[in-house]
Chains A and B, each alone.
Chain A
Amino acid sequence: MPKPTDKELDCTIAKMLKFGVSVAALVVLAGGLMLLRHPLLTIPDYSHFHAVDASLRSIKGITAAAFHLNPRGLVQFGLIILIATPIARVVFCIVGFIRQKDQLYTGISAVVLIILLYSLTKGAH
């Protein structure tokens, strides 16, 4: 495989980002439209913080809720796709740097990826 140039790497990544954001926005929109099925219900009190339901705070809970077509779960699932998009960008960069045989930047990107995954998995603690 030929070594990709930085510019080619940039373009691939930008297209991937656009795709990720589009999918995320569509899923959020679908969940949003379902939320509006009962448009006249009163919204909860948001002036005091009382954290979102525990089931909508973990990737596992959100995925389960989304597969049951729970509207709030679907919105959260779209948001997880959105959060995953920049993480996928870092993965793309690692692959690109490996193909360019750039060990230094493969390592630096790997550090960034570890920090991101740490936040996503250990965030609660």
Chain B
Amino acid sequence: MSILAFTSLLFGTSVLAGLLGALTGLGGGVVIVPVLTLLFKVDIRYAIGASLVSVIATSSGAAVAYVREGLSNIRVGMFLEVATTLGALLGAYLTARISSHWIAIVFGVVLLFSAAASIRGKYEELPKTTPNPLATTLRLHGCYPTPQGEKRYTAERVPLGFGIMFGAGTLSGLLGIGSGAVKVLAMDQAMKLPFKVSTTTSNFMIGVTAAASAGIYLARGYIDPMIAMPVMLGVLAGALIGTRILVKVHTHTLKIIFGLVIVILGCEMIYSGFSGRI
């Protein structure tokens, strides 16, 4: 294939991946890695290298929109980034040691989980347990606006949340994705933070987590300019368009359709991993 054809195809696909990632809230990486490996037959290590770079771009690019809502909690984010960045180092270390078959299989499982999480959507608030002493020491609290006025919240089960965040970081470093779904899980389900606070704080954390494995990817030669260039620019463009559309259209049906696409990609990744095609 010529450079022009390869770059244009990759750019177009990445725009779509970015759109899909923004509309499902899963991020572009979740779509771009399976598409690069299954469709473009690119080695999975180049795919995760390009994906990780696009993850940093979309997360940082979207920060302005999120900050306007004033919901993200920088203390919660910073504290949990200790866990995600350490996890990301472990993940990036594992990528070089695990065969690409297993990376594909783990990727497929994460896709299936992410699809389920995106369709499930907002989790209902559960009754509060006693305040966590660790949360008080670390000041993991804040308030957020509701129709009934400002509402205070405090993090619960801090060690559990921290542990899940370490896992989210490991997956991010291993698979070159933002693993936003797992980060949100750690905050809204384990730590019982409000859903909106969890999603906006998660977006803030994704860039820093990805940066922790990006250096290792770069040094190992996973980030190829020929692939990363159209992918980064495409996913970023797609994500920017996606966030504009998101405000205008009713997303429930779209979410289900995209959820199905991701389920199919997930099954295909697992199958390809087991059959040795990846």
Q: Which of A1-51 contact B (CB under 8 A)?
A: 6-7, 9-11, 13-15, 17-18, 20-21, 24-25, 28-29, 31-32, 35-36, 38-44, 46-49, 51
Q: Which A residues are in CB contact (< 8 Å) with B92?
A: 119, 123
Q: Are B208 and A28 in contact (CB under 8 A)?
A: no
Query: Closest CB of chain B to A43's CB: distance in Å?
Result: 5
**Given contacts A35-B3, A52-B224, A76-B223, A46 and B42 within 8 Å (CB-CB):** yes
Who on chain B is nearest to A6 by CB? B74
Task: Please tell me if A116 contacts chain B, counting CB pairs below 8 Å.
Answer: yes
User: C-beta contact mask, B72-87 vs A, less than 8 Å → 1, else 0?
Assistant: 1011001101100110
Q: How far is the CA of A35 from the CA of B230 in the complex (A)?
A: 11
Task: Please tell me if A95 contacts chain B, counting CB pairs below 8 Å.
Answer: no
Q: Which A residues are in CB contact (< 8 Å) with B57?
A: 21, 24-25, 82
**Given contacts A18-B63, A112-B82, A28 and B229 within 8 Å (CB-CB):** yes
Q: Are B2 and A49 in contact (CB under 8 A)?
A: no
Q: Are A25 and B233 in contact (CB under 8 A)?
A: yes
Query: Closest CB of chain B to A116's CB: distance in Å?
Result: 6
Task: Please tell me if B216 contacts chain A, counting CB pairs below 8 Å.
Answer: yes
Query: Closest CB of chain A to B115's CB: distance in Å?
Result: 27
Who on chain B is nearest to A11 by CB? B67
Q: Are B70 and A18 in contact (CB under 8 A)?
A: no
Chain B residues with a Cβ under 8 A of chain A:
1-4, 6-7, 40-43, 45-46, 53, 56-57, 59-61, 63-64, 66-67, 70, 72, 74-75, 78-79, 81-82, 85-86, 88-89, 92, 100, 138-139, 207-208, 210-230, 232-233, 236
